[in-house]
Amino acid sequence: MAMFDFLRKGLKKTKQGFLGRAISILKGGATSEKLEEIQELLLLSDVGPETSEYIVESLRKSKSDPVELLRNTLIELLGVDEHLNFSPTPPTVYTLVGVNGSGKTTTAGKLAWRFKKDGKRVVLGAADTFRAAAIEQLKEWGKRADVPVIAHQMGADVGAVAYDAVKHAMSNDLDLVIVDTAGRLHTKDNLMRELEKIHKVIKKLLPEQPAETLLVLDATIGQNAIQQARIFDKSVGVTGIALTKLDGTAKGGMIFSIKKELGIPVKLIGVGEKIEDLRDFNAFDFVDALLE
């Protein structure tokens, strides 16, 4: 499926919740009454107060076509697209972090499948040792993607899992290591320190890694994602966001607040349950799919 059609289908709820209505409101000009209505729609779509105010003020100050201005403002908020980083010398290491239920293990599996399809040699590391189900789920993804999975028993030291996964990649000349970590509440300091430990272990083997620390965020939680992102970024330095479950929410507006308020780029977007429904994020395609 082409990227635009993929997004248009997946963003249907967000479009119905805000942007489709915004276009009809703004046709014919941006009056004060219309701008108040736009601001209310933005807030209902979980764009957030600060970012909503910025968008409305941009519309208020300009004399240009408000529909086109809205499009340009939304694209500007998302910024220049940033794609996944790869180390010039393999292996490249990615760690996936986030709270329980955000979709980390599924995202790890889909990424492995995608990279394997592109000809890369991948290994998955099952560093969520708190749940036996997580280990088994990642092993199942390994089978689907036809990539090896490094896993220890439930309750094992997560640093040891990360170490073994990276060593396996180094010993076998693999291109990519994807480390799935346990879901953790961002308010639990001891669990956040465990993530820091995983990164220290990786850096002992490969000082410039991980190339990506991807925060997997569930789009259905709306503005709560902002606070999650702040704390994970402070703890382990988030390099990008994988935004999942956008097809299941009308609150997709939170994506604009993430970039404006935190400066963290959205690099991956998930708008479906199929194995191929995880794509690189493209700001132009995303906004056009909402506004067309």
Q: Can you list the domains of the chain with their CATH numbers? A: 3-78 (1.20.120.140), 92-282 (3.40.50.300)
pLDDT at 246: 75
pLDDT at 18: 65
Residue 215's beta-bridge partner residues? 97, 241
pLDDT at 4: 52
pLDDT in tens, the chain (292 residues): 555 566 666 566 666 656 667 878 888 788 899 999 999 888 887 888 999 999 999 999 988 889 899 989 999 999 888 999 999 999 999 999 998 888 899 999 999 999 999 999 999 999 988 888 889 999 999 999 999 999 999 889 999 999 999 999 999 999 999 999 987 665 566 777 888 899 999 999 999 999 999 999 988 887 788 888 888 888 889 999 998 887 766 566 778 888 888 889 999 988 778 888 888 998 888 887 777 6
Task: Output the six-digit token pair for 251.
Answer: 């609150």
Asked if residues 288 and 15 have their Cβ atoms less than 8 Å apart, the reply is no
Distance CA 115, CA 127 (A): 20
Between vectors from CA 105 to CA 185 and to CA 107, what angle results, nearest 5°?
A: 110
Question: How many Å separate Cα 2 from the centre of its chain?
Answer: 20
This prediction's pTM: 0.89
Q: Is the peptide bond preceding residue 210 cis, with omega within 30 degrees of 0?
A: yes
Strands 92-97 and 212-218: parallel
Q: Is the peptide bond preceding residue 88 cis, with omega within 30 degrees of 0?
A: no
Between vectors from CA 147 to CA 146 and to CA 151, what angle results, nearest 5°?
A: 130
Return the HEC string of the chain.
CCHHHHHHHHCHHHHHHHHHHHHHHHCCCCCHHHHHHHHHHHHHCCCCHHHHHHHHHHHHHCCCCHHHHHHHHHHHHHCCCCCCCCCCCCCEEEEEECCCCCCHHHHHHHHHHHHHHCCCCEEEEEECCCCHHHHHHHHHHHHHHCCCEECCCCCCCHHHHHHHHHHHHHHCCCCEEEEEECCCCCCCHHHHHHHHHHHHHHHHHCCCCCCEEEEEEEHHHCCHHHHHHHHHHHHHCCCEEEEECHHHCCCCCHHHHHHHHHCCCEEEEECCCCCCCEEECCHHHHHHHHHC
